[in-house]
Amino acid sequence: MTIANRKQREKEEMRSLILDAARAIFLEKGYEQASIRAIAEKIEYSPGTIYLYFKDKDEIFHALHEEGFSRMLKKMQPLRHVQDPFERLKAMGAVYLDFAVNNRDFYDLMFILQAPIKHEIDKEDWEMGHQTLDYLKQILRECQEQGRFPGRDINYLSFTIWSMVHGMSALYCRDRCKAYHDVNLEPGKLMENAYKIFMSMLEKI
């Protein structure tokens, strides 16, 4: 069975070779500007070869999409050690924003780009997205058990919070923070302080 094993391994190696090149190009140029030919050239194969490992451009995209969520989830792991649920909530938002700022193109790919989302966000494929959202809801439930957010619906509340942090991230990713350049405010400072305001609002809700 060693030969079949090797074939299998080589197939996977080729896939990740393509993905490595694709990641670099996708994250640098964006979805539309990244071309299959550029990916092929980077790994020194012909364009046609890529289609032996991926059905189409969207499938490559989708693989990176999953990788993004996997990375984000990994960054959220340490949160489990934060005892107080409200502190954990605050930390989660901070991790989220940190991820968006430091993995700008991954974030864009995961939450802004339209491409592979069309028919899969309500299916199993959106797994890790749901996982993250469920984790947020769980924290909110724990907060409520401690008396916070009295009478608030967890679904609406989670959407409120998600919208807030996504809003900042999306304005950042798509360069709309520049609207504050005239008052000499960098995106980082802007986001940090806006997040502080939002958290102090959550405390008093």
Binding site for DNA (CB under 7 A): 3-4, 6-7, 10-11, 14, 34-38, 44-49, 51-52, 56-58
Residues 99 and 75 sit within 8 Å (Cβ to Cβ)? yes
Name the minimum Å distance from CB 39 to a copy of itself. 18
Name the residue nearer to a copy of itself (CB basis): 8 or 70.
70
Name the minimum Å distance from CB 159 to DNA. 33
* Nearest to 90, CA basis, from 16, 8, 12, 201: 201
Name the residue nearer to DNA (CB basis): 8 or 163.
8
By CB under 8 A, tell whether 204 contacts a copy of itself. yes
By CB under 8 A, tell whether 81 contacts a copy of itself. no
The length of the chain, given as a count of residues: 205
Please tell me the distance from the alpha carbon of residue 169 to that of residue 176, in angstroms, as a whole number: 10
Please tell me the distance from the alpha carbon of residue 99 to that of residue 94, in angstroms, as a whole number: 8
Residues 39 and 25 sit within 8 Å (Cβ to Cβ)? yes
By CB under 8 A, tell whether 133 contacts a copy of itself. yes
Name the minimum Å distance from CB 74 to DNA. 29
Which one of residues 55, 77, 122, 145 is an interface residue with a copy of itself (CB under 8 A)? Answer: 122
- How far is CA 197 from its chain centroid? 23
Residues 24 and 105 sit within 8 Å (Cβ to Cβ)? no
By CB under 8 A, the count of residues binding a copy of itself is 52
Which one of residues 7, 9, 13, 30 is an interface residue with a copy of itself (CB under 8 A)? Answer: 30
Please tell me the distance from the alpha carbon of residue 178 to that of residue 27, in angstroms, as a whole number: 21
Token representation of residue 178: 């520049």
Give the footprint of a copy of itself on residues 153-182 (CB under 8 A): 153, 155-157, 159-160, 162-168, 170-171, 174-176, 178-182
DSSP letter assigned to residue 140: H
Please tell me the distance from the alpha carbon of residue 55 to that of residue 152, in angstroms, as a whole number: 45
Q: Which stretches of the chain bind a copy of itself, using CB under 8 A?
A: 30, 32, 111-114, 117-118, 121-122, 126, 129-130, 133, 152-153, 155-157, 159-160, 162-168, 170-171, 174-176, 178-183, 185, 190-191, 193-194, 196-198, 200-202, 204-205
